[in-house]
Amino acid sequence: MTPRFVDFPDLSPEQRAEAVRVLREAFADRPGTFEDEADAEVESFLEDEDRAAFAAVEGGRVVGWIGRVATYDHAWELHPLAVDPAFQRRGIGAALTRELEARAKAAGVLTLYLGTDDEYGGTNLFGAALYPDVAGKIAGVRATARGHPFAFYRRLGYEIVGLIPDANGPGKPDILMAKRL
């Protein structure tokens, strides 16, 4: 079954609750990420005019969703992308990302960007000393654990445009990625 895309304002209250659950469960392996803030995160896409989100719905059930934050005139932040763990590796995340790219392009956006933290050892950057020559470390980034989002986004055409060493604590960088539309 192919999911249909439903904008957050058009979701039922039950589907919005599913979006909260999906967010929590999709990031459950990353302690501290959306555990306590999932409700507020979903609500922010309904209340903040600079934010928008839509869900992938199959059989009336939210199986994933993606958000965007309008941060610049010609660049949006992709934040977040969450797919129900029971539905992962079925192309839902890629379909959501492609739909967001199409919507962004239609709105005149030139670049989508995102941050994908490594707080658990999913890349060779985890625990590494990134200073000096932070920019020089970009070429050697590789995934070390199955499922780090960095590899997923790279397959979709995103490239690393920066690193923020120690963004999440010592040895826990944020990897900044972007794609020209």
Cα 154–Cα 159–Cα 162 angle in degrees, nearest 5: 130
Average pLDDT of span 98-121:
96
49, pLDDT greater than 90 = yes
> Rounded distance, CA 145 to CA 88, Å?
16
105, pLDDT greater than 90 = yes
Return mean pLDDT, the chain. 94
Average pLDDT of span 7-29:
96
Residues above pLDDT 70, as percent of the chain: 96
Write out pLDDT tens, residues 153-181: 999 999 999 999 999 999 999 999 999 99
- The pLDDT-based confidence of 28 (bands split at 50, 70, 90) is confident
> Rounded distance, CA 131 to CA 116, Å?
19
Question: What is the pLDDT at residue 177?
Answer: 98
Question: What CATH architecture is 115-181?
Answer: 3-Layer(aba) Sandwich (3.40)
Instruction: Tell the burial category of 83 from Cβ atoms under 10 Å away from its Cβ (0-12, 13-18, 19+).
Output: buried
Cα 52–Cα 90–Cα 123 angle in degrees, nearest 5: 80
Average pLDDT of span 30-52:
88
Residue 46 tokens read as 């309904």
- The pLDDT-based confidence of 36 (bands split at 50, 70, 90) is confident
Would 1-109 and 115-181 be classified into the same CATH topology?
A: yes
- The pLDDT-based confidence of 129 (bands split at 50, 70, 90) is very high
Average pLDDT of span 38-63:
97
Average pLDDT of span 4-26:
97
Q: How many CB atoms lie within 10 A of CB 14?
A: 11
32, pLDDT greater than 70 = no
CATH class of residue range 1-109: alpha beta
Q: What is the CA radius of gyration of the chain?
A: 16
Per-domain boundaries in the chain: 1-109, 115-181
Average pLDDT of span 5-31:
94
Beta strands in 8-127 (DSSP E): 51-58, 61-70, 75-83, 111-117
> Rounded distance, CA 65 to CA 110, Å?
22
Instruction: Tell the burial category of 31 from Cβ atoms under 10 Å away from its Cβ (0-12, 13-18, 19+).
Output: exposed
Residue 151 belongs to what H/E stretch? helix 149-155
